[in-house]
């Protein structure tokens, strides 16, 4: 059956890729965001400008980078600048349309945690890698798309730590201190797509992937998940989209000694 001939991770990656408009300037996080951004570039958005925090602007990697600073990015970029320059002139300077990020935990306002899980900051149960570029990408990009697998572990009522902010006004209509950017406006999961409600700024379910029920999505959320007035169904991946994604992942696996996509 064609409808079942793809995995939840594939439709998540493809749904994220579709959100990236041709010509947009995208600051890309490593892992799933990088897979989605590059899939967009090799399918419907050939003129998308991919920026990585290693300083590569306009990268066109043939295989997905394992790390954020692989040589493939430098070799295919329009230009390579220093790390201070990428953050100051290009990100803080307001030249980024969309940030593509991952997260370990997310709350209903799009705040994300990549720092610690459980315990407290000084004695965490699990120490995660930390902030990297995310706090400034999340607030300086004009908007942010977050790509994360949905479960009660990742979709939480209260974050153990706010590494990077989503909507900082928490429903009161203000974003004091934020000079630019609307925060996390879109979240793509393996179950569906969430969009921020313009009035409350809460992330609400806007679409379910084919075969996923509203109950499935609610059961995989640690907060009381609301749905938009109109709940769509994501278009199933086309054969062309699937072929492009699988070719990209096969090239990547071959290049990285069987490691496959970075996550």
Point out which residues bind other proteins (CB under 8 A): 30-31, 53-56, 65-71, 73-74, 80, 82-84, 87-88, 91-92, 111, 115, 121-124, 126-136, 139-140, 161-166, 168, 177-179, 256-257, 259, 262-263
Which one, of 191, 197, 17, 36, lies nearest residue 108 by Cα? Answer: 197
Cβ atoms within 10 A of the Cβ of 89, count? 13
**Least distance from other proteins to the Cβ atom of residue 224, Å:** 23
Please confirm, yes or no, whether 53 is among the known catalytic residues: yes
Q: Which of 10, 53, 72, 241 is catalytic?
A: 53
Q: Which is nearer to other proteins, 8 or 135 (CB)?
A: 135
Minimum CB–partner distance for residue 107 and other proteins (Å): 12
User: Closest CB to other proteins among 90 and 155?
Assistant: 90
Q: Which long-range contacts (CB under 8 A, 24 or more apart) does 248-253 make?
A: 248/35, 248/38, 248/39, 248/42, 248/63, 248/64, 249/35, 249/64, 251/62, 251/63, 252/63, 252/64
Output 234 or 261, the one with its CB closest to other proteins: 261
CB of 247 to other proteins, least distance (A): 20
Shortest CB 36 distance to other proteins, Å:
15
**Least distance in angstroms from the C-beta of 168 to other proteins:** 4
Helices (H), the chain: 8-19, 32-42, 71-76, 83-85, 134-140, 214-219, 239-255
DSSP for residue 3: G
Pull the structure tokens for residue 97. 């349309």
Looking at the Cβ atoms of 6 and 87, the one nearer to other proteins is: 87
Nearest residue (CB) to other proteins, 132 versus 210: 132
List beta partners, residue 90: none
DSSP, residue by residue, 80-91: E--HHHIIIIII
> Biggest alpha carbon distance in the chain?
51
Active-site amino acid positions: 53
């Amino acid at each position: 059956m064609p409808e079942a001939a793809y995995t939840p991770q594939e439709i998540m990656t493809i749904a994220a890729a579709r959100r990236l408009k041709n010509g947009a300037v995208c600051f890309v996080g490593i892992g799933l965001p990088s897979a989605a951004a590059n899939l967009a570039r090799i399918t419907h958005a050939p003129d998308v400008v991919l920026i990585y925090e290693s300083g590569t602007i306009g990268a066109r990697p043939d295989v997905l980078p394992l790390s954020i600073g692989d040589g493939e990015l430098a070799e295919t970029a329009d230009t390579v600048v220093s790390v201070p320059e990428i953050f100051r002139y290009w990100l803080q300077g307001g030249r980024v349309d969309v940030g593509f990020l991952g997260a370990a935990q997310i709350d209903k306002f799009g705040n994300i945690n990549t720092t610690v899980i459980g315990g407290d900051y000084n004695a965490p149960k699990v120490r995660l890698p930390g902030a990297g570029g995310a706090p400034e990408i999340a607030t300086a990009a004009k908007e942010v798309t977050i790509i994360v697998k949905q479960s009660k572990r990742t979709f939480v009522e209260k974050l153990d730590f706010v590494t990077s902010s989503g909507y900082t006004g928490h429903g009161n209509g203000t974003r004091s201190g934020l000079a630019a950017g609307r925060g996390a406006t879109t979240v793509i999961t393996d179950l569906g797509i969430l969009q921020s409600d313009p009035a409350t700024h809460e992330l609400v379910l806007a679409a379910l992937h084919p075969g996923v029920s509203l109950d499935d999505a609610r059961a995989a959320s640690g907060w009381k998940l609301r749905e938009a007035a109109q709940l769509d169904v994501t278009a199933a991946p086309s054969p062309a989209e699937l072929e492009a994604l699988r070719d990209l992942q096969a090239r990547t696996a071959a290049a990285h000694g069987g490691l496959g996509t970075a996550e």
